Amino acid sequence: MKTLFEQELKVVNVGLQSFAANIDAAGGNATHLSWSPPAGADAALGWTVANMIGEPMIEEANRTAYERYLAAQPRLTDFLLARDAIPALTERRVLHAGPPIAWEQMCGPQKGAICGAILYEGWTDTIEAAEKLAASGKVLMEPCHTYGAVGPMAGVISPSMPVWVVENAAAGNRAFCNVNEGLGKVLRFGANSGDVIDRLKWLGTEFFTTMQIAVRGLADANLKPLMGQALHMGDELHNRNSAASGLLFKRLTLALMDSKVDGAAAKRALTFVARNDHFFLNLSMAACKSMSDAAHGVAGSSMVTAMSRNGVNFGIRLSGTGDRWFEAPVNPVNGLYFPGYTVNDAAADLGDSAITETNGLGGFAMAASPAIVQFVGGIPADATENSRRMLSITLGSNPAFTLPALDFGGTPAGIDARLVVDSGILPIINTGIAHKKAGVGQIGAGITAAPMECFSKAIAALAAALHGASPPARAAS
Amino acid sequence: MKTLFEQELKVVNVGLQSFAANIDAAGGNATHLSWSPPAGADAALGWTVANMIGEPMIEEANRTAYERYLAAQPRLTDFLLARDAIPALTERRVLHAGPPIAWEQMCGPQKGAICGAILYEGWTDTIEAAEKLAASGKVLMEPCHTYGAVGPMAGVISPSMPVWVVENAAAGNRAFCNVNEGLGKVLRFGANSGDVIDRLKWLGTEFFTTMQIAVRGLADANLKPLMGQALHMGDELHNRNSAASGLLFKRLTLALMDSKVDGAAAKRALTFVARNDHFFLNLSMAACKSMSDAAHGVAGSSMVTAMSRNGVNFGIRLSGTGDRWFEAPVNPVNGLYFPGYTVNDAAADLGDSAITETNGLGGFAMAASPAIVQFVGGIPADATENSRRMLSITLGSNPAFTLPALDFGGTPAGIDARLVVDSGILPIINTGIAHKKAGVGQIGAGITAAPMECFSKAIAALAAALHGASPPARAAS
Interface of B with A in 203-262 (CB under 8 A): 229, 232-235, 242-243, 246-247, 249-250, 253-254, 257-258
| Confidence label for A21 from pLDDT (cuts 50, 70 and 90) | confident
pLDDT value, residue A23: 83
Q: Do A267 and B250 touch (CB under 8 A)?
A: no
Q: Does B265 touch chain A (CB under 8 A)?
A: no
Check: CB of residue B460 under 8 Å from CB of residue B51. no
Q: Does B380 touch chain A (CB under 8 A)?
A: yes
Q: Looking at the structure, tell me whether residues B318 and B177 fall in a common domain.
A: no
Mean pLDDT of A428-450: 87
Q: Could you read off the pLDDT of A279-331 as tens digits, one per residue?
A: 999 999 999 999 999 999 999 999 999 999 999 999 999 999 999 999 999 98
Q: Which of A433, A457, A414, A422 is nearest to A328 (CA)?
A: A457
Least confident of B13-17, B110-114, B126-130: B13-17
pLDDT value, residue A468: 66
Q: Does B35 touch chain A (CB under 8 A)?
A: no
**Which SS3 state, helix, strand or coil, does residue A377 take?**
coil
In a domain, A381, yes or no: yes
Check: CB of residue A398 under 8 Å from CB of residue A71. no
Using CB atoms, which residue from B233, B242, B257 is nearest to A266? B257
Q: Looking at the structure, tell me whether residues A248 and A215 fall in a common domain.
A: yes
Give B248 to chain A, closest Cα distance, Å. 10
Q: Do B232 and A263 touch (CB under 8 A)?
A: no
Q: Do A380 and B254 touch (CB under 8 A)?
A: no
Q: Whole-number mean pLDDT of chain B?
A: 92
Ramachandran class of B366: left when φ > 0, alpha when ψ lies in -120 to 50, beta otherwise = alpha
pLDDT value, residue A276: 96
> For helices A242-257 and A224-231, what crossing angle results, to 10°?
140
Q: Looking at the structure, tell me whether residues A60 and A115 fall in a common domain.
A: no
The pLDDT of residue A457 is above 90: yes
Q: Could you read off the pLDDT of B30-53 as tens digits, one per residue?
A: 888 777 788 888 999 999 999 999
Q: Looking at the structure, tell me whether residues B312 and B451 fall in a common domain.
A: yes
In a domain, A477, yes or no: no
**Chain A residues within an 8 Å CB radius of B252:** none
Whats the size of chain A, residue-wise? 477
Task: Please enumerate in sequence order all residues whose Cβ is within 8 A of that of A166, keeping only pairs 6 or more positions apart, or say none.
Answer: A74, A75, A76, A77, A174, A175, A176, A177, A223, A283, A286, A287, A289, A290
Using CB atoms, which residue from B250, B270, B404 is nearest to A246? B250
Segment (H or E) for A373: helix A373-376
Q: Which of A220, A232, A247, A372 is the best substitution to test chain B (most B C-beta atoms within 10 A)?
A: A232
**CA pair distance B314, B427, nearest whole angstrom:** 12
Q: Do A270 and B253 touch (CB under 8 A)?
A: yes
Of B254, B286, B318, the domain-final residue: B286
Most confident of A439-443, B29-33, B174-178: B174-178
B214: domain CATH number?
3.90.1710.10
Burial readout A32-46 (b: 16 or more C-beta within 10 A, e: otherwise):
beeeeebbeebeebb
Q: Looking at the structure, tell me whether residues B402 and B441 fall in a common domain.
A: yes
Mean pLDDT of A360-381: 86
Q: Could you read off the pLDDT of B422-464 as tens digits, one per residue?
A: 999 999 999 888 888 877 888 888 899 999 999 999 999 999 9
Q: Do A405 and B253 touch (CB under 8 A)?
A: no
Residue B306 CA to chain centroid, in angstroms? Answer: 8
Mean pLDDT of A80-103: 96
**CA pair distance A440, A451, nearest whole angstrom:** 27
Q: What is the domain extent for residue A152? A: 74-286
Q: Could you read off the pLDDT of A382-411 as tens digits, one per residue?
A: 888 888 999 999 999 999 999 988 889 999
| Confidence label for B2 from pLDDT (cuts 50, 70 and 90) | low
CA distances from A432 to A105, A374, A477, B281 (A): 21, 13, 45, 35
Mean pLDDT of A78-105: 96
Q: Looking at the structure, tell me whether residues A49 and A29 fall in a common domain.
A: no
Task: Please enumerate in sequence order all residues whose Cβ is within 8 A of that of A466, keeping only pairs 6 or more positions apart, or say none.
Answer: A52, A55, A57, A58, A300
Q: Do B232 and A234 touch (CB under 8 A)?
A: yes
**CA pair distance B140, B433, nearest whole angstrom:** 26
**Which SS3 state, helix, strand or coil, does residue A452 take?**
helix
Burial of B382 (0-12, 13-18, 19+ CB in 10 A): middle
In a domain, B12, yes or no: yes
The pLDDT of residue A418 is above 60: yes
**Which SS3 state, helix, strand or coil, does residue A468 take?**
coil
pLDDT value, residue B1: 61
Q: Could you read off the pLDDT of A127-166 as tens digits, one per residue?
A: 999 999 999 999 999 999 999 999 999 999 999 999 999 9
Q: Looking at the structure, tell me whether residues B54 and B97 fall in a common domain.
A: no
In a domain, B477, yes or no: no
**CA pair distance B374, B383, nearest whole angstrom:** 11
**% of chain B with per-residue pLDDT over 70:** 97
**Which SS3 state, helix, strand or coil, does residue A101 take?**
coil
**Chain B residues within an 8 Å CB radius of A229:** 242
pLDDT value, residue B35: 74
Q: Looking at the structure, tell me whether residues B331 and B386 fall in a common domain.
A: yes
Beta-carbon neighbour count of residue A241 at 10 Å? Answer: 26
Q: Does B271 touch chain A (CB under 8 A)?
A: yes
**CA pair distance A260, A266, nearest whole angstrom:** 10
Q: pTM of this prediction?
A: 0.91
pLDDT value, residue A477: 37
pLDDT value, residue A1: 61
Q: Which of B22, B2, B4 is nearest to B13 (CA)?
A: B22
Q: Do B267 and A250 touch (CB under 8 A)?
A: no
**CA pair distance B156, B95, nearest whole angstrom:** 5
Of A232, A262, A286, the domain-final residue: A286
Check: CB of residue A392 under 8 Å from CB of residue B359. no
Q: Looking at the structure, tell me whether residues A262 and A327 fall in a common domain.
A: no
**Chain A residues within an 8 Å CB radius of B242:** 229, 233
**CA pair distance B443, B432, nearest whole angstrom:** 8
**% of chain A with per-residue pLDDT over 90:** 74
Q: Which of B253, B259, B280, B372 is the best substitution to test chain A (most A C-beta atoms within 10 A)?
A: B253
ipTM of the complex as predicted: 0.87
| Confidence label for B468 from pLDDT (cuts 50, 70 and 90) | low
In a domain, B474, yes or no: no
Using CB atoms, which residue from B243, B380, B405 is nearest to A380? B405
**Chain B residues within an 8 Å CB radius of A253:** 249, 253, 270, 274
Beta strand A162-168 with A74-81: parallel, antiparallel or unpaired?
antiparallel
The total of structural domains in chain A comes to 3
Of B262, B286, B310, the domain-final residue: B286
Mean pLDDT of A243-262: 93
Q: Looking at the structure, tell me whether residues A383 and A353 fall in a common domain.
A: yes
B56: domain CATH number?
3.90.1700.10
Mean pLDDT of B90-117: 95
Q: Whole-number mean pLDDT of chain A?
A: 92
pLDDT value, residue B470: 45
In a domain, B292, yes or no: no
Q: Which of B187, B139, B140, B142 is nearest to B161 (CA)?
A: B187
Beta strand B149-150 with B174-177: parallel, antiparallel or unpaired?
parallel
Residue A454 CA to chain centroid, in angstroms? Answer: 15
CA distances from B466 to A219, B150, B303, B463 (A): 62, 29, 15, 5
| Confidence label for B370 from pLDDT (cuts 50, 70 and 90) | confident
pLDDT value, residue A432: 86
Whats the size of chain B, residue-wise? 477
Give A63 to chain B, closest Cα distance, Å. 30
Q: Do B247 and A246 touch (CB under 8 A)?
A: yes
Using CB atoms, which residue from B233, B257, B408 is nearest to A267? B257
Give B168 to chain A, closest Cα distance, Å. 26
Check: CB of residue B431 under 8 Å from CB of residue B445. yes
Q: Do B380 and A407 touch (CB under 8 A)?
A: yes
Q: Does A374 touch chain B (CB under 8 A)?
A: yes
In a domain, A292, yes or no: no
Check: CB of residue A203 under 8 Å from CB of residue A179. yes
Give A388 to chain B, closest Cα distance, Å. 16
Q: Looking at the structure, tell me whether residues B99 and B149 fall in a common domain.
A: yes
**Chain B residues within an 8 Å CB radius of A249:** 246, 249-250, 253
B381 or A94, higher pLDDT: A94
| Confidence label for B474 from pLDDT (cuts 50, 70 and 90) | very low
Q: Looking at the structure, tell me whether residues A225 and A351 fall in a common domain.
A: no
Burial of B66 (0-12, 13-18, 19+ CB in 10 A): buried
**CA pair distance A291, A404, nearest whole angstrom:** 23
pLDDT value, residue B444: 87
The pLDDT of residue B350 is above 50: yes
Check: CB of residue B157 under 8 Å from CB of residue B83. no
Closest residue in B to A240 (Cα) is B233
